[in-house]
Structure 1
Amino acid sequence: MVRIKELLTKQQWLEAYPVMKQLRTHLDETSYVELIQQAVENEGYKLFALFEKDTIVAAVGFMPMITLYNGKFIWVCDLVTDDEHRSKGYGQQLLAYVENWSKDNGYNIVSLSSGLQRLDAHRFYEERLEYDKVSYVFLKRI
């Protein structure tokens, strides 16, 4: 049985860490929890997990945002499926969940970025989920 549930507590966030660590390899447990705490408190970040039985096998984190470019929209910050559970449609289920959450809460755009090296992910977003590639994201470390 597969179910999706919002993770609201530090303990629940920690349960998702082994899966999230596969995407955010630079984060240790402490910095991971601290960043989620700050994002929840300051940015409205939401973290949902997809469970297969009682095990987290995929996770998505997103933030409701408002910009002049998109207006009101949802920014998907994190989307990952455990390496051992890929190709089962879990990423697609999580993004469909985010899209439904967005509609239910008055947001009509879902946006995300994906690393340049993640060509399989790009095909997944564009071909299977019908996302449009509309820009590049630029970053400068200061």
Structure 2
Amino acid sequence: MKIALAENEADIARCYPVMVELRPHLKAADFPARVRKQQATGFHLAYLEEAGAVCAVTGFRYLETLAWGKILYVDDLVAAEAMRSRGHGGQLLDWLVAQAKQNHCDEFHLDSGVQRFGAHRFYLAHRLDITCHHFALKLK
């Protein structure tokens, strides 16, 4: 098992089949360009691979905020549905927390859709706390 950053087109494309399980609106043809655009502003795409298959994917960034100081913010975290309950998500989450510590972050943050009850159980089991509500307004 290995965790690596997706930094080239081939690795970015390999992450798509797992990411689309979390973000079904994404299109395969647009995915690499969207990732590249976000990478230009500090986004990182990482994946956990086992036996040559991408099993889990995460998108994250480092931010400086007045509220929390330096944080690692997780945009996306998903394990392939066919491979869930094998520890891949937990290993990727632990890796993310280690990245936050190595990069001297004050806190670790992620949002999770209110309908994702299984994900909430997972996060709570991994010692994350529910600390706020996230509000959004669609403009398009």
Asked if TM exceeds 0.5, the reply is yes
Alignment of 1:120-131 (within 5 A): 120-126=118-124, 128-131=125-128
Counterparts in 2 of 1:84-103, with a 5 A limit? 84-103=82-101
Counterpart of 2:131? Answer: 134
Please give the residue correspondences for 1:16-95 in structure 2 after superposition, counting only pairs within 5 Å. Answer: 16-42=15-41, 44-95=42-93
Aligned-residue sequence identity (percent) comes to: 32
Residue ranges of structure 1 left out of the alignment (5+ in a row): none
Distance 1:10 1:45 in 2: 15
1:34-91 deviation digits (Å, cap 9, x = unpaired): 221111102x111111011111011111000011111100000010111110001111
Structure 2 counterpart of 1:129, which letter? Answer: H
Give how far 1:124 is off: 1.0
Structure 1 window deviating more from structure 2 (58-67 vs 24-33): it is 24-33
Gaps of 5+ in 2: none
Instruction: State whether residues 68 and 106 of structure 2, in contact with CA within 8 Å, keep that contact through their aligned partners in structure 1.
Output: no
Amino acid at match of 1:12: D
How many pairs are equivalent? Answer: 139
- Runs (4 or more) in structure 1 with deviation over 6 Å come to none
SS in 2 for 1:115: coil
